[in-house]
Chain A
Amino acid sequence: MAGKYKKVAYYPGCALEGTGHAYNRSTKAVGKKLGLDLVEIKDWNCCGAMEVKNIDPKIQTYLSARNLSIAEKMGFETVMAPCNGCYHNLKKAEYDLAKDEGSRDVNSRLSEKAGHKTYEPGKVETIHALDWIKHSIGEEGLAERVTNSLKGLKVANYYGCMYTRPRHIFPEKDNGEGSESTSKPHFMDDLLAAAGAENVDYPLKTACCGGAHALSDCDTSTKLVLNLLTTAEACGADVIATECPTCHTGLEMHQVRAEKVLGRKTSVKILYFTQLLGMAMGLSPRTVGVHENFSDAMPLIKEKGLG
């Protein structure tokens, strides 16, 4: 499988330019270290996120399609989006444009009025940062580059909702040997294991963090996050590895809120999987943006000799 995706179009999305900047930084640093080229989509726009979808799904489809159209114009066959939300929305746009005439109509109408080429489904493939590393470098390639093994670090791999659900927008998943599973995803587990981490058997890999209502329904989110945190601790995890800025920030935010509002303190740390991979390959915690996380994982990183 390794060997694909050496040079891909990069779609960071809004969160990676704001609160999820550590994910942006660490993704780029890991790409550089692995010799993978990322070329940012020129003048990209928001993918539409869940919020626009709630107002009208066809506008979200147009917003995502505009980005794919630019990537196509730049000559790329593949777009890599590290954010679960963006990844999900680009995939969903691809699906809706292929299957739903109404979405196609609105997309071509808006594209025409906005003065750019209408995106036709099937032109550009959207992948996640996990697919990117897994299929370009692979576990073996990654293991060869590890200089600072994550040995002794117990990790709960958390994938959230948008990476696997709903199944129909991810036709390449659940698709035979080597493909990702939607019921029990494992790409992050595979990569971190290659970097030496000890993955704990975490039953809430695809449970929900309540990110959709992180602010609008705080109490629900706090309960859901607290469940994720305490379960990770019960599984013996030192750290929860994340691959989505919304999940990541949600976990950090509601870990603090659970302590302040419910008096429930948890001490499990939260790091992006790209931060863990970067440190395993000898990058400093600063290079992968650990200081930009809201929760402080430095004591654990020092204790485990990772930085």
Chain B
Amino acid sequence: MSDWTLCIDFGTAYSKAAVAPTGAWSRFDPASVRPLMLSADGQNTFLLDSAVFVDEDRVLFGRAALNEADAQADNKRAALRSFKTLLSVSDLDRALNTNAPATIDPHRVFQMRDLIVLYLAYLLASIERAITADPILAQGGTFSRRYAAPAWRSGDSAGMHDVIVRLFGEAEAFRTAVGKRLLSPDGLSLRAISEALPKAMERAEALEMGLIFEATAAAAYTSVGLEGSGSHMIVVDMGAGTTDIAALARLGPRTIELPEARVTLKQAGDFIDRVIANRVLESAKWAKRQDERTELWSVLMRQMGDIKEAVMADGRATLRNQGRSITLSFRDMEKDEDFREFEKSLRQAYDHALAVVRDDARARGRSDVQAIAVGGGASTPFIQALIRRKMESTRPRVIPRPATPDWAHAREFRGNLAPVFAQLAIAIGGALAPDSMLAARSGISPPANDRSGIPVERD
């Protein structure tokens, strides 16, 4: 048995990782949670930019890749980002074997697979560095590894998991071959890569890694300490591209997903951005010419994170363009037909999933269902209203949980974990989760969402 459990959250924009002592979920001590300081630069050392840039004679990673991509943007050059989106496509092998576009690889020597392996090697090297720099983790011990991923919707999660642990295996072999040169801010030369990468890929073995679904990781950090009362959970995860609703049930030592409850909506954070931008454009009557509207659109997109946060948290946002102030309220948003349609679909999807999880809880003689909102949209008023809604029937009770768990406010963190918890939540939850919550334990384990038809028994 390992001493520590490491979970990697391979994010769209940033990668994060956290470590917790093995068994931490049942013997929980907040101080034992160790988010890893993956990035050597930047003020937020816990976030590692998910980016690769192929330069003239070298490949850059992370923040250096983004900086160089910005510098060369006029030359139609771009960094490769959003690997996570690529990893969730239905025909993953085909996507990985595709040549990277010329904007990303002007030499036309890399397939998407190569670039992902290179980034994963950089990520693994950053994790190694962070563990060495952590005064507690540096003292030694064995680590078991897992990664967090959304529940894939293509139905072939087992195949996907095998491909991903293989990619990590190739990355590990490459990292071993090139060592810490990977972490140089100057990147790695194309020559070093062309010498080491093919050999590393040839001799690589799949890395021993578990898979935890993001919804389950959220359930893990939420249900720490709840033991019996946290047996059933409904998780609403609003990210950038999709809003996913999942239901989980902990049955003795195992956690299963109730597959009939799962619903995915294609509207999420990006959709809200478009609604906001369209409402603002509609109200900005002075912006009549195309160039004025284009300029306003780009201002909106640059500031969208702040605007959206203010609309959701304060009920309105004020921004300035061309010396004019524009105010948008949440009420304005609710007038948008598409948004109203989304709210309606979301309510229906939630009601459906909630009915499934409550039926299961009732059948197993459980009295509570925990409702959890996670992801970038967790604190939006309509998501919070959804999980806090009063039910017509009182049993099983639905108990809304805070987006940031109470333990993140523990004195040990002196008020500093809670503000950044949302960014690190999945990595932390994944590290805390017991093995019974994993969707797959190694490259060959069947994923949890394939386990259906588990008979309902009172336990």
**Is the pairing of A and B real?**
no
A: residues with CB less than 8 A from B are: none
B: residues with CB less than 8 A from A are: none
